[in-house]
Amino acid sequence: MEAERILIIEDETSLRTILKMQLEGAGYHVETASDGVEGLEKVRAGNPNLVLLDVMMPRMDGNEVCRRMKASVQTSQIPVIMLTAKGERQDKLNGLGDGANDYLTKPYDRQELLARVRNTLQWSRSQREANPLTGLPGNVAIEAEVARRIGAAEPLAFLYVDIDHFKAYNDHYSYKQGDEAIQLTARIILESVARHGSAVDFVGHVGGDDFVIVTVPLRARAIADQIVRDFDEKSPSLYTPDDRERGYVEVTNRQNVLTAVPLMSVTVAGVTNEGRVITHVGQLSDIAAELKCYGKTREGSLVVWERRGE
């Protein structure tokens, strides 16, 4: 993996040099700037993953640099840790009010510095990778989590959750209400995991109406069954009373023919590594996709389990 890039904007030469050595020693790629004007230019040119920003500097102070970064579409998402000799509460509030993500007061402890840098970068990655509609981790985080568990040879259950007839609902009711259906499904999944799972279980949003849960075989069946029950109970509220009563919506298909499409249901495809060796993420995805296709040929909500390893 490519080293994450950090820009240090600090006018004190000795401190700038020490910070650079410490961060490079921790595996980061580090660039430096000696004042706010130079620093802002390097931010715009280099798009670093994180900026360590001194407050008191010549030509342009750190608060102004931070304000300008956060006001620009190009640089607004770059996280900032403010560095200052000031420890007063109001100074910290000013920096945070200008958009800084964290604050470190000089003299600082090396371990605290590295911990704050690590945590801020981790938060930034999670924000970039999260699905904007649900806030759940996206594909990069899903693959990383599954690969980690496979590498650790942990007991693994992979649940792929997909809404049936979602496109017809989305076309009939509008994208806004389609988004509400996806958000409801995300809440159902999270509540089911909270009820039957544990804090180390993982929920991700592949995109659209597709979700993934990574758990252990012991908890997987209860989670999957709960999702099906809750979806069937709550999803009818997304429809008008007339559509609920009829049990379908009418949409025009590609041949311009009015077609009756059933109300949404949910398919949960479940795969575990019990009785088989899973060596890579693609295996799980392929099996889950096959199961999902089979599940969609059946009526109503259901859980489909892969049984070849049993």
pLDDT at res. 309: 43
Scanning the structure block, which residue is given the tokens 């910290």? 92
Q: What is the pLDDT along the chain (310 residues), one digit of tens a residue?
A: 578 999 999 999 999 999 999 999 999 999 999 999 999 999 999 889 999 999 888 889 888 999 899 888 788 889 999 988 766 666 666 667 777 888 888 888 889 999 999 999 988 887 777 888 998 888 888 998 999 999 998 899 999 999 999 999 999 999 999 999 999 999 999 999 999 998 889 999 999 999 999 999 999 999 999 999 999 999 999 999 999 999 999 888 777 888 899 999 999 999 998 888 888 888 888 888 899 888 888 989 999 998 654 4
CB contact set of 262 (below 8 Å; sequence gap of 6+): 164, 165, 247, 248, 299
CB contact set of 140 (below 8 Å; sequence gap of 6+): 129
Of 2, 9, 130, 132, which Cα lies nearest the Cα of 80?
9
pTM (2 d.p.): 0.72
Strand order through the sheet with 210-215: 202-207, 210-215, 157-164, 265-272, 302-305
Distance CA 134, CA 118 (A): 25
Sign of CA dihedral 158, 163, 164, 168: negative
Sign of CA dihedral 74, 19, 5, 50: negative
pLDDT at res. 114: 95
pLDDT at res. 104: 87
Strands 248-252 and 258-262 turn out to be antiparallel
pLDDT at res. 141: 87
What residue type is assigned to position 74 of the chain?
Answer: Q
Burial group, residue 195, by CB count within 10 angstroms (0-12, 13-18, 19+): exposed
